[in-house]
């Protein structure tokens, strides 16, 4: 269901989903730019992309797709990998930064849920639930090792030149393959595993 349809049917649910989704995406992109900056590339910083301002990150077409189909994207933070002090390791770290940020945000939301124990279906409980779930989904989605997703760049950092060439060749089909994978629900086991892993760690901290 697209966000536009949700807005028309249930404005409250729209707000409870749209705001966590918006900032999950912002933190994801901000993490890419911040790690790139720390590793020697100031491209994102010079363009004002190291910001929590949503207008700096929203992509018009990606936002429209999100509202209509429930599947969209933000403007990727520009990174010049040739400016990184270690190009190969830099590519891995910068690409993993967004996924790591989403996992940390999901952990924070679930940790607060366990620590504060808000009343079921209260506003804090619902917001924390959506925020954790959205961040886990984004992390799992971006871990797919197909271009242009982060998982493909992480794989390229470890892969041989031959594998890198193959990844470049399938980039033109990447979007359609990803849509197919989402349609068949291949991410569901990964999402469930990530949630189980986070909750297991929280249980160790807060038995």
Which residues are designated catalytic?
Answer: 29
- 3-state secondary structure string across 153-167: HHHHHHCCHHHHHHH
Q: What is the DSSP letter of 79?
A: -
**Distance between CA 136 and CA 199 in Å, rounded?**
12
**Distance between CA 42 and CA 32 in Å, rounded?**
11
User: DSSP for 33-47?
Assistant: HHHHHHTT--HHHHT
Cβ contacts of residue 162 below 8 Å, gap of 6+? none
Q: What is the DSSP letter of 57?
A: T
Q: Which two tokens stand for residue 24?
A: 């999950």
3-class SS at 31?
helix
Residue of 102, 193, 82, 196 whose CA lies nearest to 149: 102
């Amino acid at each position: 269901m697209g966000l536009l349809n949700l807005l028309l049917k249930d404005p409250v649910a729209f707000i409870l989903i749209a705001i966590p989704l918006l900032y999950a995406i912002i933190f994801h992109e901000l993490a890419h730019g911040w790690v790139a900056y720390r590793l020697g590339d100031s491209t994102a910083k010079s363009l004002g992309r190291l910001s929590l301002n949503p207008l700096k990150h929203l992509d018009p077409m990606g936002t429209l797709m999100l509202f209509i189909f429930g599947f969209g994207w933000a403007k990727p933070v520009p990174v010049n990998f040739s400016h990184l002090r270690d190009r190969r390791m830099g590519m891995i770290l910068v690409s993993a930064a967004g996924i790591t940020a989403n996992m940390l945000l999901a952990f924070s939301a679930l940790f607060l849920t366990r620590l504060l124990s808000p009343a079921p279906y209260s506003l804090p409980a619902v917001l924390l639930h959506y925020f954790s779930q959205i961040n886990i989904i984004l992390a799992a989605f971006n871990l797919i090792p197909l271009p242009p997703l982060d998982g493909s760049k992480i794989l390229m950092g470890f892969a041989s030149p031959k594998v890198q060439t193959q990844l470049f060749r399938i980039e033109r089909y990447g979007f359609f393959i990803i849509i197919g994978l989402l349609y068949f629900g291949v991410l569901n086991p990964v999402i469930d595993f990530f949630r189980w892993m986070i909750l297991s760690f929280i249980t160790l901290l807060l038995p």
